[in-house]
Structure 1
Amino acid sequence: MFHPLRVREIERLTDDAVAVTFAVPPELRETFRHTPGQHIALRRTVDGQEIRRTYSICTPSTDDPVLRVGIRLVEEGAFSTYALKELMEGDTVEVMAPAGRFTLEPRPGHFVGIVGGSGITPVLSIAATLLAREPDARFCLIRSDRTAASTMFLEEVADLKDRYPQRFQLVTTLSREEQQAGLPSGRLDEERLRALLPALLTVESVDGWYLCGPYGLVQGTEQALRTLGVPRGRIHEEIFHVADGTTTPGATATSVPAHSSVTATLDGRSGNWPVQDGESLLETVLRNRADAPYACKGGVCGTCRAFLVSGEIRMDRNFALEAEEVDAGYVLACQSHPVTEKVELDFDR
């Protein structure tokens, strides 16, 4: 469900990025209370076409929620172009309640965030909340950006370093610019991380790794961590963008039955509908239930997560669900196609 929220503030972060803060009225305070690391979906309609995009919340989780997101301009991006060039303070935007499972509930331990570009956004919320609430927690942030001028949330990260000098470690690298101090320039790829991480910290003592950014960075970091012996259960990932045509490693083509149907339960109501040729299960449900949850339709945000009650499906891409969620029976409806004639989904679980 979307709620109209007024834009309270727009802050220019870099030449191609802004932070947008929304005013949350008292009656929606509980609705928009977020767990650090979650995102919100924003919606607007242009020429009769609905556009939805998800953006991560960058502020700490507090009793009085501050709903602030970072938006970076994407080439030909329908919503990011609007946000940077047209959106103004006082405007109203339709906003969905916070969602997502790339989260960390504050607890004692040593945690590491490895981010690229705008991947800093959810990890900033995670680190700030953790350090404020848990005195026995430490956080190491390893961030990669193109240049110093393109680096988002510089002041917020510097504030964490000043506020928690003994518990917050910051490592920065630039891919297209030399630094006067710190790491040499260059991309953080798998080979570089395999050498860098053991030199920075005791890898086996880290309680949780939080990877966020472009697909290549996240995949390369995961491979480096697995090579270094890190259990998969300690690695948490969120990808901001995946190029069209990219499939999940190991995905295989499967024949689709000539006639199939999907039964879906949503907000306590169920329905059964035929799946048209080439449709994803989400598209079938949306034809009949406009309130079905979704945002990116690209297998990245996880908004359309549903439980597979019965039947078999093929998921083309999955860059949102953890392995444990897939093993438990959850699927991304936007990427799911029927393999059996009857499939049943439950969006309420």
Structure 2
Amino acid sequence: MFHPLRVSAVEQLTDDAVAITFAIPAELREAFRHTPGQHVALRRIVGGAEIRRTYSICTPAVEAPGEPVVRVGVRLVEGGEFSTYALKELGVGDTVEVMEPMGRFVFEPRPGRFAAIVGGSGITPVLSIAATLLAREPDARFCLIRSDRTAASTMFLDEVADLKDRWPDRFQLVTVLSREEQQSGLPSGRLDQERLTGLLPALLPVADVDGWFLCGPFGLVQGAERALHGLGVARNRIHQEIFHVDDGTSAVAAAAAPASAAAPAHSTLTATLDGRSGKWPVREGDSLLETVLRSRSDAPYACKGGVCGTCRAFLVSGEVRMDRNYALEPEETEAGYVLACQSHPLTPEVELDFDR
């Protein structure tokens, strides 16, 4: 559900990134009390067309009765309608439609050793995860390995430095710049699979890490995941969220149909959402999400690119083809979940349940 929230602060982080803080009315505090790692979708209407973008919350999670703080980082994307608006027009006092927090890249703080590998704006949810963990669990440790192009393009420098100052014995920071040499620390260059395979064991006891959080561009996350698998890390200890996918990147093969599978000439979708069911014909070329949206504008979605996972639904019956999947874990697809925005029918009848 979307709510109109007033912008209480806009802070310049870098030349191409800002942090936006929203004022949360007393009656909406519980609705916006987030779990570390969750995101919100922001909505804007331009020329009668709806634009939605998803941004992770960077602030620590606040337990009741404390007042939740919803602050997101927005980096300018070339040609991006919402990010251009956020950096060049949005100001304090303006109102933005904000969806209640959601997402599965989440973490409930517990004692142990944890680590993250992030790139660029992928720092945003991990900042919330690390800050919440260190504040709540005195026996927890966190190692942050972050990759950025240059020092000037690095988001949330002050916030990360504050974590290091407050918990010097429990927070380890490793910074790698891909396009700029540092006076001290690691040499510049990309954090790819080969480099991480050699680097990680030198930084921390890999086998003793209770949870890994990977967030950022697809290439970085994929390389980090492969490096961790090669170092013997179990799949259930690796959590990931993709922030950007290059157009030329091949899609993750998850519950995808064989190339020879063909869509039926006519198909019908039955979908359950918020306890109400409907049945609609699927137009040629339309995704299952587009089919639902024609009659149910409250269908959940944010990016429509197979990245955020907002439109996750359970496949009750029938078969579908997913074009792309950067959001669902293998165990989710094995359990029968699909991304409605990327799914197309392969059988005359398909049924989805958005409520499971």
TM bucket normalised to smaller: over 0.9
Q: Deviations over 1:30-56 (max 9, x none)?
A: 111100000000000111111000000
Q: In structure 1, what is the equivalent of residue 27 of structure 2?
A: 27
SS in 1 for 2:228: helix
Distance 1:247-1:263 versus aligned 2 partners, 3 A rule: farther
Q: In structure 1, what is the equivalent of residue 309 of structure 2?
A: 302
**Distance apart, 1:262 and its partner CA:** 0.6
2:178 and 2:248 map into 1 onto residues whose CA distance is 26
Amino acid aligned to 2:7: V
Whether 2:139 is the aligned partner of 1:136: answer: yes
**Distance apart, 1:246 and its partner CA:** 3.6
Identify unmatched segments of 5+ residues in structure 2: none
Q: In structure 1, what is the equivalent of residue 54 of structure 2?
A: 54
1:8 and 1:124 map into 2 onto residues whose CA distance is 20
Q: Which of 214, 234, 237 matches 1:234?
A: 237
Q: Do 2:320 and 2:344's aligned partners in 1 also have CA atoms closer than 8 Å? A: yes
**Distance apart, 1:249 and its partner CA:** 3.4
**Distance apart, 1:245 and its partner CA:** 5.5
Aligned residue pairs total: 349
Q: Which of 139, 162, 169 matches 2:165?
A: 162
SS in 2 for 1:186: coil
1:312 and 1:137 map into 2 onto residues whose CA distance is 44
Amino acid aligned to 2:276: R
Q: Which of 145, 148, 158 matches 1:145?
A: 148
1:257 and 1:109 map into 2 onto residues whose CA distance is 51
Q: Do 2:59 and 2:71's aligned partners in 1 also have CA atoms closer than 8 Å? A: yes
2:171 and 2:328 map into 1 onto residues whose CA distance is 29
2:337 and 2:279 map into 1 onto residues whose CA distance is 19
Q: Deviations over 1:194-224 (max 9, x none)?
A: 1000111111111111000011100111111
Q: Deviations over 1:209-261 (max 9, x none)?
A: 10000111001111111111111111111011112364433344331111111
Q: Deviations over 1:282-303 (max 9, x none)?
A: 0100111111110100000011
Q: In structure 1, what is the equivalent of residue 289 of structure 2?
A: 282
Q: In structure 2, what is the equivalent of residue 346 of structure 1?
A: 353
Q: Do 1:247 and 1:316's aligned partners in 2 also have CA atoms closer than 8 Å? A: no
Q: In structure 2, what is the equivalent of residue 324 of structure 1?
A: 331
2:157 and 2:130 map into 1 onto residues whose CA distance is 14
SS in 2 for 1:288: coil
Whether 2:121 is the aligned partner of 1:118: answer: yes
Amino acid aligned to 1:44: R
Q: In structure 1, what is the equivalent of residue 5 of structure 2?
A: 5
1:308 and 1:247 map into 2 onto residues whose CA distance is 24
Amino acid aligned to 1:334: C
Q: Which of 98, 113, 116 matches 2:101?
A: 98
1:327 and 1:249 map into 2 onto residues whose CA distance is 14
Amino acid aligned to 1:42: L
Task: Tell me the TM-score normalized by structure 1.
Answer: 0.98
**Distance apart, 1:70 and its partner CA:** 0.3
Correspondence 1:201-220 to 2 at 5 A: 201-220=204-223
1:134 and 1:247 map into 2 onto residues whose CA distance is 40
Whether 2:87 is the aligned partner of 1:84: answer: yes
Q: Do 1:262 and 1:272's aligned partners in 2 also have CA atoms closer than 8 Å? A: yes
SS in 1 for 2:294: helix
1:157 and 1:249 map into 2 onto residues whose CA distance is 32
Q: Do 1:173 and 1:185's aligned partners in 2 also have CA atoms closer than 8 Å? A: yes
**Distance apart, 1:117 and its partner CA:** 0.5
Whether 2:75 is the aligned partner of 1:72: answer: yes
1:323 and 1:128 map into 2 onto residues whose CA distance is 28
Report the aligned-residue RMSD. Answer: 0.9
Q: Do 2:16 and 2:76's aligned partners in 1 also have CA atoms closer than 8 Å? A: yes
Identity of aligned residues (%): 79
Q: In structure 1, what is the equivalent of residue 262 of structure 2?
A: 255
Amino acid aligned to 2:114: F
1:27 and 1:215 map into 2 onto residues whose CA distance is 38
With 2-11 and 302-311 compared, the bigger mean Cα shift is at: 302-311
Amino acid aligned to 1:49: A
Identify unmatched segments of 5+ residues in structure 1: none
